[in-house]
Structure 1
Amino acid sequence: MQVLTLVVLVGCAATAVLSADTYTTQFDNIDLEAILKNEKLVDNYTKCLMDEGPCTNEGRTLKKLLPDALKTACAKCTEKQKTGARKVIKFYQTQHPEDFKKLQQKYDPGGKFKAEFEKALFGQTL
């Protein structure tokens, strides 16, 4: 799922607990740029999502919400979360393609949610 994983990593890591219509905005003010510029943080989030390392509160929340966000094509994401997800996906696709593939295999192994998720975030299938 090419637009899958870290989409909601920090995009929805800017998210917390499920609510009625949208995910919580508790983490929406996280500085994604700072996280993506810090290889140690990127590595820590990746390991968290892959069950290969400990998770921060944000990482645990992201890990919990990511399957639902993929399944529903980010229907509960706010615009800010979608913007963050797009940024994170593009980052992983270009800067960490192997990690991106691993995350796709873990969270959408059959590519079942890929097309709808990409359309919801990018307006087209990538």
Structure 2
Amino acid sequence: MIRLSYVMIISVILMCVLAEELYSDKYDNTDPMSILQNDKLRDEWYNCFMEKAPCPTEDAKFFQEIFSESLQTKCKKCTQRQKELQLIMKNWYEQNNPERWKALVTKSIEDMKKKNAGR
């Protein structure tokens, strides 16, 4: 009985340690199409992600902060909705503005190299 308790406690601890914490879902209700279909908003968000201008909203800032890691890790820490948002964004840019998508991917790679070099 005591061994079983220890096994259960160790199992719970391991599950907690191994479980990857997800990004906050605070902005999961963001509507990507309203941004992507509006030239001004799309440019503001793009410039935010590229760090060429301040982020126009708190949700833009949040997604800009997690973008490089989420893209490079295939959204490992994303909620299901964040995976959907990233796919919508990726598909839109690949179809409508592939040059900007390439720039975003290149920047995300550079950001992750800097982050990993700092470890």
- Give TM-score, length-normalised by structure 1: 0.65
Displacement after TM superposition at 1:46 (Å): 0.6
- Name the structure 2 match of 1:122: none
CA-to-aligned-CA distance 1:55-112 (integer Å, 9 cap, x gap): 1222221221122213432111111111111111000111111111111221125xx9
Q: 1:54 to 1:104 in 2, by over 3 A?
A: same
Give the secondary structure class of the aligned counterpart of 1:104: helix
Structure number with greater CO (CA < 8 Å, separation at least 6) is 1
Q: How does 1:16-31 map to 2 (within 5 A)?
A: 21-31=21-31
Q: Which moved more, 1:58-67 or 1:98-107?
A: 58-67
1:43 aligns with 2:43: yes
Structure 1: gaps of 5 or more residues: 1-19, 113-126
Identity %: 33
CA distance in 1, matches of 2:72, 2:39: 29
Q: 1:71 to 1:97 in 2, by over 3 A?
A: closer
**Which protein has the bigger helix share?**
2
- Name the structure 1 match of 2:60: 59
Q: Computing the radius of gyration over CA atoms, which structure comes out larger, 1 or 2?
A: 2
* CA RMSD across the alignment: 1.8
- Name the structure 1 match of 2:116: none
CA distance in 2, matches of 1:27, 1:71: 20
Letter in structure 1 aligned against 2:106: Q
CA distance in 2, matches of 1:81, 1:92: 16
1:83 aligns with 2:84: yes
- Whether the 8 Å contact between 2:23 and 2:78 is mirrored in structure 1 is yes
- Give TM-score, length-normalised by structure 2: 0.68
